[in-house]
Amino acid sequence: MANKLDEICATKRDEVAARKLSYPSGRRPDWADPSPVRGFEAALRTKAEGGFALIAEIKKASPSKGLIRADFDPAAHAAAYQAGGAACLSVLTDAPYFQGHEDYLIAARAACALPVIRKDFMVDPWQCAEARAMGADAILIIVAALEDVAMVEIEAAAREHDLDVLVEVHDEAEMERALTRLQSKLIGVNNRNLKTFEVDLATTERLAGMVPEDVLLVCESGISSHADCVRMAQSGVRTFLVGESLMRQADVAAATHLLLNGA
Ligand SMILES: O=P(O)(O)OC[C@@H](O)[C@@H](O)c1c[nH]c2ccccc12
Protein backbone atom coordinates (compact mmCIF):
# COMPACT_ATOMS: atom_id res chain seq x y z
CA MET A 1 0.00 0.00 0.00
CA ALA A 2 1.38 3.37 -1.02
CA ASN A 3 -0.28 5.21 1.85
CA LYS A 4 -3.18 5.24 4.28
CA LEU A 5 -5.57 6.82 1.77
CA ASP A 6 -4.98 3.96 -0.68
CA GLU A 7 -5.67 1.47 2.09
CA ILE A 8 -8.87 3.26 3.14
CA CYS A 9 -10.11 3.42 -0.47
CA ALA A 10 -9.39 -0.28 -1.06
CA THR A 11 -11.43 -1.14 2.04
CA LYS A 12 -14.17 1.21 0.81
CA ARG A 13 -14.38 -0.52 -2.58
CA ASP A 14 -15.08 -3.87 -0.89
CA GLU A 15 -17.65 -2.26 1.40
CA VAL A 16 -19.44 -0.56 -1.50
CA ALA A 17 -19.54 -3.79 -3.51
CA ALA A 18 -21.34 -5.51 -0.64
CA ARG A 19 -23.78 -2.62 -0.08
CA LYS A 20 -24.64 -2.50 -3.78
CA LEU A 21 -25.66 -6.15 -3.65
CA SER A 22 -27.87 -5.71 -0.62
CA TYR A 23 -29.65 -2.50 -1.76
CA PRO A 24 -28.90 -1.74 -5.44
CA SER A 25 -30.99 1.46 -5.56
CA GLY A 26 -28.85 3.09 -2.87
CA ARG A 27 -31.77 3.36 -0.48
CA ARG A 28 -31.57 0.95 2.44
CA PRO A 29 -35.04 -0.53 2.95
CA ASP A 30 -35.37 0.83 6.49
CA TRP A 31 -34.58 4.42 5.49
CA ALA A 32 -37.48 6.85 5.16
CA ASP A 33 -37.53 9.06 2.05
CA PRO A 34 -35.18 11.98 2.73
CA SER A 35 -36.47 15.53 2.96
CA PRO A 36 -35.42 17.84 0.07
CA VAL A 37 -31.83 19.12 -0.08
CA ARG A 38 -31.09 22.10 2.13
CA GLY A 39 -28.52 23.89 -0.05
CA PHE A 40 -25.07 23.26 1.38
CA GLU A 41 -22.98 25.61 -0.75
CA ALA A 42 -25.63 28.35 -0.66
CA ALA A 43 -25.68 28.29 3.16
CA LEU A 44 -21.89 28.68 3.25
CA ARG A 45 -21.88 31.54 0.75
CA THR A 46 -24.56 33.40 2.67
CA LYS A 47 -22.73 33.12 6.00
CA ALA A 48 -19.33 33.92 4.48
CA GLU A 49 -20.71 37.25 3.20
CA GLY A 50 -21.26 38.56 6.70
CA GLY A 51 -18.41 36.90 8.60
CA PHE A 52 -17.00 33.41 9.02
CA ALA A 53 -18.85 30.37 7.72
CA LEU A 54 -18.34 27.10 9.57
CA ILE A 55 -18.82 23.50 8.53
CA ALA A 56 -18.88 21.85 11.96
CA GLU A 57 -17.88 18.21 11.92
CA ILE A 58 -19.32 15.29 13.87
CA LYS A 59 -16.37 12.94 14.25
CA LYS A 60 -16.13 10.28 16.93
CA ALA A 61 -12.64 9.02 16.14
CA SER A 62 -9.87 9.24 13.53
CA PRO A 63 -6.96 7.07 12.41
CA SER A 64 -4.42 9.58 13.73
CA LYS A 65 -6.10 10.46 17.05
CA GLY A 66 -8.09 7.35 17.97
CA LEU A 67 -11.22 7.98 20.00
CA ILE A 68 -11.93 11.74 20.16
CA ARG A 69 -15.27 11.80 21.97
CA ALA A 70 -16.38 9.08 24.38
CA ASP A 71 -19.87 10.40 25.23
CA PHE A 72 -20.76 10.62 21.55
CA ASP A 73 -24.27 11.91 20.78
CA PRO A 74 -24.61 13.08 17.16
CA ALA A 75 -28.09 14.60 17.58
CA ALA A 76 -27.11 16.66 20.62
CA HIS A 77 -23.90 17.71 18.89
CA ALA A 78 -25.78 18.82 15.77
CA ALA A 79 -28.17 20.94 17.82
CA ALA A 80 -25.26 22.50 19.72
CA TYR A 81 -23.40 23.32 16.49
CA GLN A 82 -26.51 25.01 15.15
CA ALA A 83 -27.00 26.95 18.38
CA GLY A 84 -23.37 28.08 18.23
CA GLY A 85 -23.78 29.52 14.73
CA ALA A 86 -22.46 26.84 12.35
CA ALA A 87 -23.56 27.18 8.71
CA CYS A 88 -23.44 23.47 7.89
CA LEU A 89 -22.61 20.09 9.37
CA SER A 90 -20.15 17.42 8.29
CA VAL A 91 -20.83 13.90 9.49
CA LEU A 92 -18.33 11.05 9.13
CA THR A 93 -20.06 7.93 7.84
CA ASP A 94 -16.96 5.78 7.35
CA ALA A 95 -16.99 3.03 9.98
CA PRO A 96 -13.68 1.15 9.72
CA TYR A 97 -11.34 4.14 10.14
CA PHE A 98 -13.46 6.92 11.71
CA GLN A 99 -16.06 4.96 13.71
CA GLY A 100 -18.69 6.79 11.69
CA HIS A 101 -22.14 5.55 10.67
CA GLU A 102 -25.04 6.49 8.37
CA ASP A 103 -27.30 6.50 11.42
CA TYR A 104 -25.24 9.38 12.82
CA LEU A 105 -25.88 11.46 9.71
CA ILE A 106 -29.59 10.66 9.82
CA ALA A 107 -29.83 11.53 13.53
CA ALA A 108 -27.76 14.72 13.21
CA ARG A 109 -29.72 16.03 10.25
CA ALA A 110 -33.04 15.34 11.96
CA ALA A 111 -31.90 17.28 15.04
CA CYS A 112 -31.27 20.59 13.23
CA ALA A 113 -32.05 22.63 10.12
CA LEU A 114 -28.50 22.77 8.77
CA PRO A 115 -27.36 21.27 5.45
CA VAL A 116 -25.14 18.21 5.93
CA ILE A 117 -22.19 16.85 4.00
CA ARG A 118 -21.64 13.11 4.06
CA LYS A 119 -17.97 12.78 5.00
CA ASP A 120 -16.78 9.55 3.47
CA PHE A 121 -14.46 8.20 0.82
CA MET A 122 -16.29 8.30 -2.48
CA VAL A 123 -14.94 5.70 -4.89
CA ASP A 124 -18.09 4.91 -6.90
CA PRO A 125 -20.89 7.11 -8.32
CA TRP A 126 -23.40 4.74 -6.65
CA GLN A 127 -22.42 6.25 -3.31
CA CYS A 128 -24.07 9.51 -4.43
CA ALA A 129 -27.48 7.81 -4.70
CA GLU A 130 -26.82 6.30 -1.29
CA ALA A 131 -25.76 9.65 0.19
CA ARG A 132 -28.97 11.37 -0.95
CA ALA A 133 -31.09 8.42 0.20
CA MET A 134 -29.73 8.82 3.74
CA GLY A 135 -30.44 12.56 3.57
CA ALA A 136 -27.07 14.11 2.70
CA ASP A 137 -27.06 17.55 1.05
CA ALA A 138 -23.48 17.34 -0.22
CA ILE A 139 -20.62 14.90 -0.74
CA LEU A 140 -16.83 15.12 -0.62
CA ILE A 141 -14.55 14.35 -3.54
CA ILE A 142 -10.95 13.76 -2.46
CA VAL A 143 -8.80 14.51 -5.50
CA ALA A 144 -5.86 12.52 -4.11
CA ALA A 145 -8.01 9.39 -3.99
CA LEU A 146 -9.28 9.36 -7.57
CA GLU A 147 -8.24 9.34 -11.22
CA ASP A 148 -9.66 12.17 -13.32
CA VAL A 149 -12.28 9.97 -15.02
CA ALA A 150 -13.57 8.63 -11.71
CA MET A 151 -13.84 12.01 -10.02
CA VAL A 152 -15.65 13.50 -13.01
CA GLU A 153 -18.15 10.61 -12.93
CA ILE A 154 -18.74 11.00 -9.22
CA GLU A 155 -19.27 14.74 -9.59
CA ALA A 156 -21.81 14.15 -12.38
CA ALA A 157 -23.66 11.60 -10.22
CA ALA A 158 -23.74 14.07 -7.35
CA ARG A 159 -25.35 16.70 -9.61
CA GLU A 160 -27.95 14.16 -10.76
CA HIS A 161 -28.92 13.68 -7.14
CA ASP A 162 -28.96 17.44 -6.36
CA LEU A 163 -25.94 17.12 -4.09
CA ASP A 164 -23.36 19.87 -3.76
CA VAL A 165 -19.73 18.81 -4.00
CA LEU A 166 -16.86 19.84 -1.77
CA VAL A 167 -13.63 19.11 -3.64
CA GLU A 168 -10.67 18.42 -1.37
CA VAL A 169 -7.05 19.13 -2.34
CA HIS A 170 -3.70 18.99 -0.55
CA ASP A 171 -1.24 20.63 -2.91
CA GLU A 172 -0.80 22.67 -6.09
CA ALA A 173 -1.09 19.73 -8.49
CA GLU A 174 -4.37 18.60 -6.94
CA MET A 175 -5.68 22.17 -6.95
CA GLU A 176 -4.90 22.39 -10.66
CA ARG A 177 -6.84 19.17 -11.31
CA ALA A 178 -9.77 20.43 -9.24
CA LEU A 179 -9.90 23.70 -11.17
CA THR A 180 -9.53 22.21 -14.64
CA ARG A 181 -11.40 18.87 -14.44
CA LEU A 182 -14.28 19.56 -12.07
CA GLN A 183 -17.12 22.07 -12.12
CA SER A 184 -17.73 22.57 -8.43
CA LYS A 185 -16.94 26.05 -7.14
CA LEU A 186 -16.51 24.75 -3.59
CA ILE A 187 -12.92 23.70 -2.94
CA GLY A 188 -11.37 22.71 0.37
CA VAL A 189 -7.68 22.74 1.18
CA ASN A 190 -6.93 20.01 3.69
CA ASN A 191 -4.08 21.18 5.92
CA ARG A 192 -3.45 17.62 7.06
CA ASN A 193 -0.58 15.95 5.24
CA LEU A 194 -1.86 12.51 4.23
CA LYS A 195 1.48 10.81 4.66
CA THR A 196 2.60 12.25 7.98
CA PHE A 197 -0.82 13.33 9.39
CA GLU A 198 0.84 16.59 10.37
CA VAL A 199 -1.29 19.71 10.13
CA ASP A 200 0.02 23.02 8.82
CA LEU A 201 -2.28 26.00 8.23
CA ALA A 202 0.33 27.38 5.84
CA THR A 203 -0.97 24.86 3.28
CA THR A 204 -4.16 26.89 2.85
CA GLU A 205 -2.18 30.12 2.74
CA ARG A 206 0.03 28.68 -0.03
CA LEU A 207 -2.86 27.54 -2.21
CA ALA A 208 -5.31 30.40 -1.60
CA GLY A 209 -3.78 32.51 -4.35
CA MET A 210 -4.52 29.86 -6.99
CA VAL A 211 -8.31 30.11 -6.83
CA PRO A 212 -10.39 32.38 -9.04
CA GLU A 213 -12.87 34.85 -7.56
CA ASP A 214 -15.93 32.62 -8.04
CA VAL A 215 -14.53 29.71 -6.01
CA LEU A 216 -15.44 29.47 -2.33
CA LEU A 217 -12.34 28.20 -0.57
CA VAL A 218 -12.69 26.10 2.59
CA CYS A 219 -9.84 25.76 5.07
CA GLU A 220 -9.94 22.18 6.44
CA SER A 221 -8.27 20.56 9.47
CA GLY A 222 -6.22 21.83 12.37
CA ILE A 223 -8.27 24.92 13.22
CA SER A 224 -8.67 25.33 16.97
CA SER A 225 -9.24 29.01 17.73
CA HIS A 226 -10.75 32.26 16.55
CA ALA A 227 -7.18 33.49 16.05
CA ASP A 228 -6.66 30.70 13.48
CA CYS A 229 -9.72 31.95 11.57
CA VAL A 230 -8.48 35.55 11.71
CA ARG A 231 -5.09 34.39 10.41
CA MET A 232 -6.74 32.59 7.46
CA ALA A 233 -8.90 35.64 6.70
CA GLN A 234 -5.69 37.53 5.89
CA SER A 235 -5.41 35.18 2.90
CA GLY A 236 -9.03 35.81 1.98
CA VAL A 237 -10.40 32.58 3.51
CA ARG A 238 -13.62 32.91 5.50
CA THR A 239 -14.96 29.35 5.42
CA PHE A 240 -13.75 26.59 7.74
CA LEU A 241 -14.20 22.88 8.34
CA VAL A 242 -13.53 22.07 11.97
CA GLY A 243 -13.84 18.74 13.76
CA GLU A 244 -11.55 17.64 16.54
CA SER A 245 -11.15 20.89 18.48
CA LEU A 246 -14.94 21.29 18.75
CA MET A 247 -15.60 17.59 19.39
CA ARG A 248 -13.45 17.78 22.52
CA GLN A 249 -15.41 20.64 24.15
CA ALA A 250 -17.76 20.25 27.10
CA ASP A 251 -19.96 23.17 25.98
CA VAL A 252 -20.06 22.70 22.23
CA ALA A 253 -22.42 25.60 21.45
CA ALA A 254 -20.31 28.08 23.43
CA ALA A 255 -17.07 26.80 21.88
CA THR A 256 -18.56 27.09 18.38
CA HIS A 257 -19.66 30.66 19.07
CA LEU A 258 -16.22 31.53 20.46
CA LEU A 259 -14.44 30.03 17.44
CA LEU A 260 -16.55 32.10 15.06
CA ASN A 261 -16.78 35.37 16.97
CA GLY A 262 -13.89 35.55 19.42
CA ALA A 263 -14.20 36.49 23.06
O1 LIG B 1 -10.55 17.43 13.08
P2 LIG B 1 -9.97 18.58 12.31
O3 LIG B 1 -8.49 18.65 12.39
O4 LIG B 1 -10.65 19.89 12.65
O5 LIG B 1 -10.31 18.28 10.75
C6 LIG B 1 -11.65 18.22 10.27
C7 LIG B 1 -11.66 17.72 8.83
O8 LIG B 1 -10.96 18.62 8.02
C9 LIG B 1 -11.06 16.32 8.71
O10 LIG B 1 -11.81 15.47 9.52
C11 LIG B 1 -11.05 15.80 7.29
C12 LIG B 1 -10.72 16.51 6.18
N13 LIG B 1 -10.82 15.74 5.06
C14 LIG B 1 -11.20 14.51 5.43
C15 LIG B 1 -11.45 13.39 4.67
C16 LIG B 1 -11.87 12.25 5.28
C17 LIG B 1 -12.02 12.21 6.66
C18 LIG B 1 -11.76 13.32 7.45
C19 LIG B 1 -11.36 14.48 6.84
**Alpha-carbon torsion (149, 153, 159, 164), positive or negative:** negative
Tell me if 146 is assigned to some domain: yes
Pocket test for ligand 1, best of 8, 119, 256 (most atoms within 8 A of CB): 119
Cβ-based neighbour number of residue 161 at 10 Å:
17
* Mean pLDDT, residues 95-113: 98
Distances from the Cα of 182 to the Cαs of 121, 141, 209, in angstroms?
17, 10, 18
Task: Report the C-alpha gap between 241 and 92 in whole angstroms.
Answer: 13
| Chain-centroid distance, C-alpha 213 | 22
Mean pLDDT throughout 83-94?
A: 98
ipTM of the prediction greater than 0.95, yes or no = yes
192-242, pLDDT tens digit by residue? Answer: 988 788 999 999 999 999 999 999 999 999 999 999 999 999 999 999 999
Q: What are phi and psi of 119, to 5 degrees?
A: -95, 105
Domain-embedded: residue 41: yes
pLDDT at residue 1 greater than cutoff 70? no
pLDDT of residue 2: 62
**Structural domain harbouring 156:** 37-261
Mind listing the pLDDT tens digit for each residue in 116-145? 999 999 999 999 999 999 999 999 999 999
Residue 44 lies inside a defined structural domain of this protein: yes
Q: Is 60 in the pocket of ligand 1 (CB under 6 A)?
A: no
In the prediction, which pLDDT does 195 show?
79
Whether residue 84 is predicted with pLDDT greater than 60 in this model: the reply is yes
Asked, for residue 24, whether it belongs to a domain, the answer is no
Does any ligand 1 atom lie closer than 6 A to the CB of residue 244? Answer: yes
Number of domains making up the chain: 1
How far does residue 32's CA lie from ligand 1's centre (Å)? 28
For 89, 93, 260, the CA distances from 48, given in Å and listed in that order, are 15, 26, 11
Q: Whose CA is nearest to atom 13 of ligand 1?
A: 190
Mean pLDDT, residues 1-24: 92
Residue 82 within a domain? yes
Q: What is the mean pLDDT of the chain?
A: 97
Q: Provide Rg for the chain, Cα atoms.
A: 17
Which CATH number does the domain housing residue 92 bear?
3.20.20.70
17 domain-assigned: no
Q: What is the Cα–Cα distance from 166 to 185, expressed in whole angstroms?
A: 8
Q: Is residue 214 part of a domain?
A: yes
